[in-house]
Structure 1
Amino acid sequence: MSAEQLNTTPVAPVVTRAGHLYGDTGQSGGALRQSGVSPEHTPATKIWFGRVSNEPGYRSLPHHHAEAETGGYVLKGHGRIYFGDDYSVFLDLYEGDFVFVPPFIHHVEANMSVTEELIWLTARTPDNLVVNLDDVDDSVLADYRRA
């Protein structure tokens, strides 16, 4: 059925091609966020979906995502999310794992490898809200090392 038959304004799928991800979005330290679908560069109004990468030995700053709910999928690598008092609680994630991060949870996302890149696919509603917090020393994060 055509758009004219539906008597609506024509709407079409929008493709963000490989190599053309949108990077002018909320960032936090060593976690590089790039969107494929977001309100900033597509007609999307209620979702941010993109790629988050951490180079070997890099981590995000402590942060939270305000009221946004976050779903993540580890496409490549070994990630760790630190949270809780003094970031003393953590979850390890590996290729193929999914994670849900509730709104307002203070956390740090780390690449636990010093040789391999970590790549997450992340969906967030309503948008990529990033509230950076005061940094912590690496020694606070159990087993984390940069090199």
Structure 2
Amino acid sequence: MGQDHHHRTDWKHDGVRVIPGDQLDPTTAGQTTGMNRATAINFARVGAQKIWAGTVHIHANAKTGAHHHGDLESVIYVVKGKARMRWGNNLEFTAEAGPGDFIFVPPYVPHQEINASSDETLECVLVRSGQEPVVVNLDIEPVEKPENVPWVDPIHKHPGHADPNSKR
């Protein structure tokens, strides 16, 4: 029965896809100074239904506010630099990750992302379990205030830009 499916599907065009690192799609909406982001895998580019993946370069000292991503799961792989995560109902837990480390953020976990370096760009690969950039901002006083440099990436919009998916 697997054979029949094999004959009906054009695996040459609907099979494995390699997306070269120099052919990622830079998100045109609101690129931020000192920050680059690019989509590698999404529905529009390769027909992905359940995952999104791309790269994020975050400048030194950048931080998000407290938020969660609804029912999305997120995986962050640190390529270069130092990331600090804070999480919990009062962001009371903390962990750091460096090059080669993976960070997993489960659904609904209140958290804050931080570039823990004052002079080095944080370069990451971000994978999430859906196409919709869900962000629910939380009214928690973060231990590390994100005033100086906001963290902006495909999911965390600039605080000055209204996001229809965001709830305050």
Matched residue, 1:75: 79
Q: CA deviation at 1:22?
A: 4.1
Larger relative strand fraction: 1
Contiguous gaps of at least 5 residues in structure 1: none
SS at match of 1:103: coil
| Contact 2:24-2:39 at 8 Å conserved across structures | no
Matched residue, 2:115: 111
* TM-score when normalising by structure 2: 0.66
Q: Deviations over 1:53-103 (max 9, x none)?
A: 220111123222211111221111110111113222111111111121101
Aligned residue among 109, 127, 132 for 2:131: 127
Deviates more, 1:90-99 or 1:8-17: 8-17
Matches within 5 A, 1:1-12: 6-9=7-10, 10-12=13-15
SS at match of 1:18: helix
- One-letter amino acid of the structure 2 residue matched with residue 8 of structure 1: T
Aligned residue among 55, 58, 64 for 1:60: 64
| Contact 1:31-1:54 at 8 Å conserved across structures | yes
* TM-score when normalising by structure 1: 0.74
Q: CA deviation at 1:104?
A: 1.1
Structure 2: distance between partners of 1:93 and 1:64: 19
Contiguous gaps of at least 5 residues in structure 2: 1-5, 150-168
Question: Relative to 1, partners in 2 of residues 1:70 and 1:134: Cα closer, same or farther, differing over 3 Å?
Answer: closer
Question: Relative to 1, partners in 2 of residues 1:43 and 1:130: Cα closer, same or farther, differing over 3 Å?
Answer: same
Question: Relative to 1, partners in 2 of residues 1:32 and 1:65: Cα closer, same or farther, differing over 3 Å?
Answer: farther
- How many residues are paired up? 138
Question: Relative to 1, partners in 2 of residues 1:130 and 1:33: Cα closer, same or farther, differing over 3 Å?
Answer: farther
| Contact 1:62-1:106 at 8 Å conserved across structures | yes
Kindly, what percent of the aligned residue pairs are identical?
A: 28
Structure 1: distance between partners of 2:24 and 2:84: 27
Structure 2: distance between partners of 1:135 and 1:67: 19
- One-letter amino acid of the structure 2 residue matched with residue 87 of structure 1: L
RMSD: 3.3
